[in-house]
Amino acid sequence: MTFADMTPDRYPAILENASARSRFLLVCEHASHAIPGRWGDLGLPEELRQAHIAWDPGALGLSRGLARRLDAGLVHAPVSRLVYDCNRAPDQPGAMAERSEMHEIPGNRRLSPEERAARTAAIYAPFHADLRAEIVRRLAQGVPPVLVTIHSFTPVWHGKPRAVEFGIIHDHDPALALAVLEESRDSGLVCGLNEPYSAADDVTHTLRLQALPYGLANVMLEIRNDLIATPEAEEAMADRLAPILARALGSLAAPAMAG
Amino acid sequence: MTFADMTPDRYPAILENASARSRFLLVCEHASHAIPGRWGDLGLPEELRQAHIAWDPGALGLSRGLARRLDAGLVHAPVSRLVYDCNRAPDQPGAMAERSEMHEIPGNRRLSPEERAARTAAIYAPFHADLRAEIVRRLAQGVPPVLVTIHSFTPVWHGKPRAVEFGIIHDHDPALALAVLEESRDSGLVCGLNEPYSAADDVTHTLRLQALPYGLANVMLEIRNDLIATPEAEEAMADRLAPILARALGSLAAPAMAG
């Protein structure tokens, strides 16, 4: 049998700027708070279904702003992380979380193995297959992409305010993260390396799955969401971060070109 | 746009024993010497298109024998490695090799970036997406698969005979490979750890891509192809290797259960 025979509904990744010419490939796993009809409201009120537990507010707008400025491709997920968090492997508790921060998610309680498999097949597998397809298309053409995943985080977490504004996170290969940190010195942002989360919090799944096996330069970025709360703020943040990313990549590429 | 819009012909992976109940998931990247019509004969005579440069003779038959004995799933590729070698990343020379052993492959000479991308999209991307889909389906159901890739190699290489009969190869995680080696002691086969190839030869791509990011137990097996040259020989080898694999997995699982 072929796999197409057993695939249920699929929610493919969305690609923007397919013909972009820079090496940057931006990824936004938590771009959408949409919950397709088959999953109803997951037992949550409208307000929570549009809150940060459902998506990363501002991350897609910022990503689009960066994609325009950097001439970068952008891949994003069309479904809320409340249904499946595409930055988590399917055997991790956060993939289909029963709880997020202080909120229970009734529709995710005691999921059957079949339902877990169905969501994984419908959302996670297509997202990562499509992202991989774009990565390997570029590799085959001799232009290895540079993977930048873009997230946002809340100013207050479990009641405590967070000082960090711009988090720069890496997995086993820290090169691009360190370069971004270096280039962010004069950004006016309170920067944190591996803050407010780190690989130990299981947040670098996409980097591990998509960048490390191919040796791609990669970094995960986290922006405090009060700084990208309006379209204007998203654009202003894109103005700040685009040159930082461009200089960081340049600083990585330079030694290889000289050597 | 979605990715389906830009996908050309696709050659999906083939899944056998989808309802198998053991944790073993067998993978055969070089199962077929088929060359779909759009790639013609690649400038090679029939004889070479059916030789080991086109596939791993005996590997699929052995894999099927093992799948029956181990109650294991089996995923294999439907297209010759002469068109695309699914055990190579698309930026590696061996992915669409211009040369294999002493043979030039005229149809792979100076491929354009577009043709490299087209083959990658048609063969490599679907194969690994489908394999991943099966892996993550099992992970979502709480039963992490154990990945075993199965290959064969020639008794003579560049004019030199090879003594090794059964090669056991690992990447960063050697646990299952070492267990298989241990359990092979009384097999009567001349065994080699990381022979006749090793990760340094770029042969562990599938393990790196599919097993390591999920922490799955994994190993690559290489059988000398003169030992699996007939259906009867494939069955006899499956008889020898199936209990070795079962015991090796058991020896891995035991300490965790005790601990």
Distance CA B76, CA B28 (A): 5
Segment A102-124 mean pLDDT: 96
pLDDT digits (tens, 9 = 90+) for B127-176: 999 999 999 999 999 999 999 999 999 999 888 899 999 999 999 999 99
- Does B134 touch chain A if contact means CB atoms closer than 8 Å? yes
Q: How confident is the model at residue A7 (pLDDT cuts 50, 70, 90)?
A: low
pLDDT digits (tens, 9 = 90+) for A38-50: 999 999 999 999 9
Q: Which residues contact A51 (CB under 8 A, 6 or more apart)?
A: none
Domain borders along chain B are 8-258
Distance CA B52, CA B30 (A): 9
Q: Which of B90, B120, B129 sits opposite A129 (nearest CB)?
A: B129
Q: Which of A113, A114, A141 sits opposite B117 (nearest CB)?
A: A141
Find the Cα–Cα–Cα–Cα dihedral A33, A63, A153, A243, rounded to 10°. Answer: -170
Q: What is the interface size between A and B, counted as CB pairs within 8 Å?
A: 126
Task: Kindly report the average pLDDT of chain B as a whole number.
Answer: 94
Query: CA of B132 to nearest chain A CA: how many angstroms apart?
Result: 7
Count of other CB atoms within 10 angstroms of residue A125: 27
| Domain A3-258 class, CATH top level | alpha beta
> What pLDDT does B158 receive?
81
Q: DSSP letter at A222?
A: E
pLDDT digits (tens, 9 = 90+) for B69-122: 999 999 999 999 999 999 999 999 999 999 988 899 999 999 999 999 999 999
Q: Considering only residues 104 to 123 of chain B, which have any Cβ-Cβ distance to chain A shorter than 8 Å? A: 113-114, 116-117, 119-121
Kindly tell me if the per-residue pLDDT of B56 is higher than 70: yes
Query: CA of B183 to nearest chain A CA: how many angstroms apart?
Result: 30
- Does A243 touch chain B if contact means CB atoms closer than 8 Å? no
Take residue B242 and report the two structure tokens written for it: 């199936």
Percent of chain B at pLDDT > 90 equals 90
Segment A95-123 mean pLDDT: 95
Query: CA of B61 to nearest chain A CA: how many angstroms apart?
Result: 17
**Superfamily name with CATH number, domain B8-258:** Zn-dependent exopeptidases (3.40.630.40)
Q: How confident is the model at residue A102 (pLDDT cuts 50, 70, 90)?
A: confident
pLDDT digits (tens, 9 = 90+) for B171-221: 999 999 999 999 999 999 999 999 999 999 889 999 999 999 999 999 999
Query: Residues A166, B39: contact at Cβ < 8 Å?
Result: no
For B113, which residue in chain A has the nearest alpha carbon? A141
Q: What angle do CA A204, B201, B46 make, to 5 degrees?
A: 115
| Range list of H helices, chain A | 46-49, 59-70, 113-119, 125-140, 175-183, 205-206, 231-258
Residues of B within 8 A of A205 (CB-CB) are 213
> Do A214 and B128 count as a contact with CB atoms less than 8 A apart?
no
Q: How confident is the model at residue B253 (pLDDT cuts 50, 70, 90)?
A: confident
Query: Residues B166, B192: contact at Cβ < 8 Å?
Result: yes
Segment B1-15 mean pLDDT: 71
Segment A24-28 mean pLDDT: 98
